[in-house]
Structures are given as C-alpha cells and as structure tokens.
Structure 1
Amino acid sequence: MEPRLGIDFGRVIQGVSAPGTADTAFLGGSFAEALASPAADGVYDVLPGLVEAFGGRAWIISKCGERVRERTLAWLDHHDFYGRTGLARGNVRFCRKRPEKALHCAELGITHMIDDRLDVHRAIRDVVPYRYLFGPQKGEVPDWVRHVPAWADAAVISADIPAGRRRPATRRSR
C-alpha cells in the first residue's frame, strides 16, 4: 500500500492556539475575520515537502458543520493553500463528528494522520498506523501516538514513510 497522509485543518493547518481553546476569529468571528486568520507557523515551510514525499497522496480531513465548512474552503482558496502546498483541490473531506474521521481514513487508506485531538487519534487507532498528535497538549501524550509540537518538528513524519515508498522532499519555491 502506498503511504497516504491525512491532515486536520483547525489548529493544525490554520490558527494553532493553546490546548483546549478555540480559534474565535475563525469559528465565531465574521467571514472576513475568518479569511484573515493566519496559517499555523511553519505550515508552508513543511507541508509542501510532505505532500511531495507522499507523492501527492494527502488529504485534509476536518470535522465541522456547514458554516465552518464554507469558511474552510474559502480560507484555503484565499490563502492559495493548494498552490502553496501542492495538495490537490479535491482532496478535502469533512465530517460532522470527530470519530467519523476514522471512516474517511479507512476509505482513503490513510497511513499517517496529523490531528491535534487525542479523541480523534483514539478513533483512528485501529485504522491508521502512524498517528501524530499536533500542537501544544495538556497532560501526558500516550505512547501509541507521536507528539509533534509544531510544524518545525514534523520531520519525523516523512521519516516514518517506509523505505522505497518515500519521494525525496524538496522545498518548493513560490
């Protein structure tokens, strides 16, 4: 099986915040405030190389309602996310409940998943072999998930691609 990457959106790609806090500009602010909200520090430095290392087999898998779904898609366009990262425009999935991410991971054959929520990792534990708990966390990180505090620490992800399946990660210039 070819390695496939899943990436959460909120607090992973967009607007990393302290554990347990919401991104109020994106969730509760105006549409303009949501579009203006920042990407996570380092996402554009690291994610293009990961998308390339996975041979383009990368998907955003996000839990949200219709209003946040529309904002997410608009944010991705507004920030030229697809052009800046190489992620295919059609590789964005949404679900209403966090445990449903396991269904998307199973359907897509996701082998590596980056998410900031431990409950998501519990739900995908039997589906996705490589799980990365992203961002600052409260409490201990279980040994069955790998903690990636920030995008600057994400080199472990491409290192986990089985030998012979990895494409060399090169920095794309834009």
Structure 2
Amino acid sequence: MPAVREVLGVDIGGVIIDRARNDETIASFFDEDYLQTPAIPGAFDALRQLVKQRFGPNVFLVSRCKRGTPLNKGVLEKTEEWLAYHGFFDYTGINPENVRFCDQPFQKAGICREQGITYFVDDRLSVLAHMVSVVPNLFLFRPNMVEVRRSGRSLYGIQRVNSWQEVLKYLLPEGQLAVTG
C-alpha cells in the first residue's frame, strides 16, 4: 500500500512574520521600514527542520494578502519582498513556487484541497474553521483567546500551539528535535 503524501501548509502573517498582538494587520507592513518586521521566533529553524526531516518539497505557504497598485504596494508584494529580503526560501528549503495567495480567508480551504494539504498552521481560528472538513490536522498558532472566546467555535479537531517548538513536538518524532533558540 503506497504511503499517504503528507503536505504542510503554513500561513505567513502571525505565523512566520510577526505581528502586533491583538492587531488585525502586520504591524510595520504599513510603515516605510516594513522589511524590518521581525520573524516569529524559531519559525525559520522549525520550517527548515520540517522540510529536511518530514515534508521535503511538500510545504506550501498559504496567505490572504491584498495586491497593491502600481503606485502603492500591497501586503502581497511586501510579503514577497520580506521573504526574499530575509533569505527565507534559501534558509528553509521551501520552494518559492509553493506560495499561494488569496483574497479572502475562506479561500485558503480551497487552496488546501487543491494542494492536498494534510497539516495546516494558522493564527486565526476563523480561518481554520473553514478547513475542518478539508485538512485533517489543524494547528492554531499563538491563539488570540479574545478571538477564541468571541467566536464561540469549538476547538474540536484544532490543536493549540504557542510556539514553533510546540509545532515541532507534534510533527517530528521524538529524537529528531533539534534545540533552537
């Protein structure tokens, strides 16, 4: 019997690129120095380990980002620039062609279906709620408990994680975890 193809999907804002807590936007992406927005601690190292030790080429970035205009960069263009500026693809080993953008949060579920994603990490419960019947393994990253309480949604089938180190504990067998700072 052939092995089931495992595919990891990862949101970008609030999961790879840090954001201000309790904010709907990536904090400094609206400033001139958006390239200085920090990465989430441990994100690059964890994704590198997941590529090398489990998922190989089967890692996709899936993000809701608005495209800009010729005179005003949108979050989509700034996100692409941020990833390139920080050497994200070279460091993690994720294929830059494995990036998918959409206009609405619910569209992430369709992308996951198309790509056969079996694990997904996002910081928004409202996004994961659309994926419950599509992606068997869902991770709510650094959950905003105000959003969780306000939504009234059950977290059944959604694993809460507070760091990339916790994600690694779920996705890598014991003994394969590297200590990251």
- With normalisation by structure 1, the TM-score equals 0.85
Q: Is the 8 A contact 2:10 2:120 kept in 1?
A: yes
CA distance in 1, matches of 2:19, 2:50: 19
Secondary structure of 2:127's aligned partner: helix
Q: Is the 8 A contact 2:44 2:92 kept in 1?
A: yes
CA distance in 2, matches of 1:5, 1:155: 12
Residue 56 of structure 1: aligned partner? 57
1:154 aligns with 2:167: yes
CA distance in 2, matches of 1:56, 1:17: 31
| Structure 1 residue 136: Cα displacement | 3.6
- Deviations 1:21-50 (CA, angstroms, capped at 9, x unpaired): 532201x212xx111111101112211011
Structure 2 counterpart of 1:142, from 155, 164, 169: 155
| Structure 1 residue 115: Cα displacement | 0.3
| Structure 1 residue 137: Cα displacement | 2.0
Unaligned runs of at least 5 residues, structure 2:
68-73
Secondary structure of 2:63's aligned partner: strand
Residue 165 of structure 1: aligned partner? none
Residue 137 of structure 2: aligned partner? 130
| Structure 1 residue 16: Cα displacement | 4.2
CA distance in 2, matches of 1:48, 1:36: 21
Paired residue type of 1:8: D
Q: Is the 8 A contact 1:16 1:135 kept in 2?
A: no
Residue 72 of structure 1: aligned partner? 79
Q: Is the 8 A contact 1:116 1:134 kept in 2?
A: yes
1:2 aligns with 2:2: no
Paired residue type of 1:18: R
| Structure 1 residue 156: Cα displacement | 3.6
Secondary structure of 2:113's aligned partner: helix
CA distance in 2, matches of 1:91, 1:111: 15
Q: Is the 8 A contact 2:19 2:25 kept in 1?
A: no
| Structure 1 residue 20: Cα displacement | 4.2
Q: Percent identity?
A: 33
Higher-RCO chain (CA-CA 8 Å, sequence separation at least 6): 1
Number of residue pairs matched?
Answer: 161
Unaligned runs of at least 5 residues, structure 1:
161-167
